[in-house]
Amino acid sequence: MAHILIVEARFYDHLNDMLVAGARAAIEAAGHTTEVITVPGALEVPGAIAMASESDRYDAFVALGVVIRGETYHFEIVSNESARGIMALTMDGIPIGNGILTTENEEQAIRRADPAQLDKGGGAAQAAIAMLELRQRFG
């Protein structure tokens, strides 16, 4: 049984509630345990995962959050840099499922976050579990 940390960038409460629900359900369905921590935004997710990975308390990580395009370039910075940070950690062998949504509008975000629709939170949890299993295989 693995212990998986969900790191959520809690900016849109109603969307994050759906992402976390999907992730928790997938983790529990796979027979694992989970904890949730919250960070201010998507840019802080990779840093929190890096710090938590040093503790040896967690076997894998799920990154969750929502970035909705606005009127400025900030969307691109947050989307690209959070993904780059998560990818860098993954390349270091840390099993992470990336469920940070980057959407054009709230309607797209709801469709992706809702466990009854696209369930991207559950998908990110399944990806984290798959990466953990690969790490254990290659040991």
The answer to whether the annotation marks 110 as part of a ligand binding site is no
Q: Which amino acid is at 91?
A: M
Is 74 designated active site?
Answer: yes
Do 99 and 122 meet the contact criterion of CB atoms below 8 Å apart? Answer: no
Q: Is residue 5 annotated as involved in ligand binding?
A: no
User: According to the annotation, is 61 in a ligand binding site?
Assistant: no
What strands, in cross-sheet order, belong to the sheet with 60-68? 33-39, 3-9, 60-68, 96-103
89 labeled part of a ligand binding site = no
Query: Which residues, including other chains, have CB under 8 Å from residue 14's CB and lie 6 or more apart?
Result: none
- Of the candidates 3, 14, 32, 74, the residue annotated as catalytic is 74
78 is annotated as contributing to ligand binding: no
For the annotated catalytic residues, the residue numbers are 74
| Annotation: binding site for (2S)-2-hydroxy-3-oxobutyl phosphate | 71-72, 112
**Residue ranges of the binding site for 5-amino-6-(D-ribitylamino)uracil:** 11, 42-44, 66-68, 98
